[in-house]
Structure 1
Amino acid sequence: MLKKTLTGALAVLAGGVLITALQPASATTAGHGNDDRGPIVIGHRGASAIRPEHTLLAYEAAAKLGADYIEPDLVSTKDHVLVARHENEISATTDVENHPEFAARRTTKTIDGAQVTGWFTEDFTLAELRTLRAEERIPDLRPDNTAFNGLATIPTFDEVIELAQKYGVGVYPETKHPTYFDSIGLSLEEPILETLKRHGWDDVRSPVFIQSFETTNLKELRSATRLRLIQLINATGAPYDLVAAGDPRTYSDLVTPEGLRAISRYADGVGVATSRIVPVGADGRLQPPTTLVRDAHRVRLQVHTWTVRPENSQLPVDYRLGNPAAPAYPRATGDVMGWLERLFTLKVDGVFSDDPGIARATRDRWLDQG
């Protein structure tokens, strides 16, 4: 299967190390929207294991490494342009602190009930954001990525779609803090649909999933689009829109059989933390799987899971290098392929991976072994 589906190779320089990037066979087979080749591979924030997240560098690497979809988290600028950042607070992912002209914009806001201090995208126009440069968010874990600091700007959603269409992959955008952005008059949902439609992606056959940790905006989107919608399920806590409305339901309530049936009325799938599928014990080791995948499939919901990261310290203890309870080599790559194969065997429909090259190769090998 690997030789049949991956036909090209591209040399990519990653932090001074030469790696092989596997190209999708063609634009007609990659990200075509049918998702009938087995579990899909979603480049989590691009290929964030080897490039600073949410940059065109990361998205391009993900596409070249064989991702079926690339994931932009979307926030708004002051002039209501959608841009890709994991959070609207940008001090950890840009060099904004080095720009004295923006020093006075550092402030404290309440986002989803928590106080956050820093610089926020909604206080900048797109032109102003373009003067900043992206940086690696977790340099202690991914020091090689710091080689790319300063090389990329913050991309717009338009640019992400253009890149995806160039490489024949799909997009998997997430609305970040939709209740908050609604409250300040910068709703995310309408511009997402408008942008996708402008690029010809506006029906169920389009290679698009729209995801959210909240529920209200997905229900509103359901009445406005045929694009596929994914309800995100965190390992703990509750959707903020429910919290704000005084609704006592939590994410645990949403993944009961009754909760999944309710989700199936407005969404096409769930995007769940891996611990919702395979719980982790107090010792950090994996416990027997839950029935979530089976329960979701019974009500015709897809199950996508997040996030598979290659670093030893980010893997379940069972798949770490030497299986140490406290990893001696936090940045070393453990048995990430074994962890991926475990998830594929449990019949997930997709995985979010910081290294989509490993995920793609593992997926294709697993399918070939059949």
Structure 2
Amino acid sequence: MRRLGLLIVTALTTLTTLTSFTTAAEAADPTNVAHRGASADAPENTLAAFRLAARLGADMFELDVQETKDHQLVLMHDTTLARTTDAERVFPGRSPWQVGDFTLAEIRKLDAGSWFGSRHDGEPVPTLGETLREMDGTGLGLLLEIKAPQLYPGIEGRVAAELRGNPAWLRQGRLVVQSFSWRSMRTFHRRLPQVPVGLLGTPAVQDLPALAAYATQINPPYQDLTRAYVRHVHSLGMQVFTWTVDDPATWRRMASYGVDGIITNRPGMT
């Protein structure tokens, strides 16, 4: 009887220890990633938004990379210039204003800030190289999304070359490259295998082991997440960065699931 009692006490102690470990892990502060910079308070994908993210206490900033007609890497979320620049006014006959139909010199003529507010008049569309150099001394990490790579054959190699030209970003822990195109991420991984790769979306649980062969992160929308899914990803040695969380209650819920990072338009919210 005494032996049975000792076994029960041991089991309860072990369970309590495991529960405490899980709770502590799940309560850890996730990495605060500024989505397109502090995009709730400054024009997205601009140096103004990235600088503000640093001032607001973000750990990382996220940006979107596309390619111009002359194969220069610029920051733009949409595949057209219309929403976040004055391209319709400057180039009225160039509808639908696809990013890839314009040279860098033409995109330099655009205002990427006035749509957000007059205090940002004249804010330019930055290149990836300019952004890497400008943000190098801030201490922030970078989550770099290759946007619509099917429109820009070879973009993975050009992004890799730009990163090699700014080697400070290749230090461990500073950089993750992600995309909705998992094929593109396999290609990028072959180019720069030392750089962690993130897969945007919510792969089926049965597909996760194969993806873990080259991916470091699985990055789903927060609406898709459960604790069980996060644990499946973690069990394969990958991280979870979720998006896009702009209210404190959802932030706390995602943190309780044990996610490793939260992508937000409001990095100062926490």
Q: Closer, same or farther in 2 for the Cα pair 1:47/1:94, shift >3 Å?
A: same
Q: How far did residue 147 of structure 1 move?
A: 3.2
Q: Closer, same or farther in 2 for the Cα pair 1:356/1:75, shift >3 Å?
A: same
Q: How far did residue 136 of structure 1 move?
A: 6.7
Structure 2 gaps, min length 5: 1-27
Tell whether 2:207 aligns with 1:207.
no
1:347 is aligned to 258
Q: How far did residue 157 of structure 1 move?
A: 0.4
The 5-angstrom pairing of residues 8-87 of structure 1 reads 38-87=29-78
1:123 corresponds, among 101, 105, 112, to 101
- Determine helix, strand or coil for the equivalent of 1:223: helix
CA–CA distance in 1 between the matches of 2:39 and 2:180?
21
2:165 is aligned to 198
User: More relative contact order in 1 or in 2 (CA 8 Å, sep 6+)?
Assistant: 2
CA–CA distance in 2 between the matches of 1:46 and 1:189?
22
The 5-angstrom pairing of residues 156-235 of structure 1 reads 156-182=127-153, 187-201=154-168, 203=170, 205-225=172-192, 226-233=194-201
CA–CA distance in 2 between the matches of 1:180 and 1:43?
26
TM-score (norm 2): 0.84
Kindly indicate whether the alpha-carbon contact (under 8 Å) linking 1:215 and 1:231 is maintained by their aligned counterparts in 2: yes
**Identity rate of aligned residues, in percent?**
32
User: Aligned residues, how many?
Assistant: 242
Tell whether 2:213 aligns with 1:273.
no
1:19 is aligned to none
Give the AA of the match of 2:60: Y
Tell whether 2:267 aligns with 1:356.
yes
TM-score (norm 1): 0.62
Rg bigger for which structure? 2
Q: How far did residue 150 of structure 1 move?
A: 2.5
Q: Closer, same or farther in 2 for the Cα pair 1:308/1:147, shift >3 Å?
A: farther
2:16 is aligned to none
Structure 1 gaps, min length 5: 1-36, 107-117, 138-144, 234-250, 278-288, 310-335, 363-370
1:97 is aligned to 88
1:132 is aligned to 110
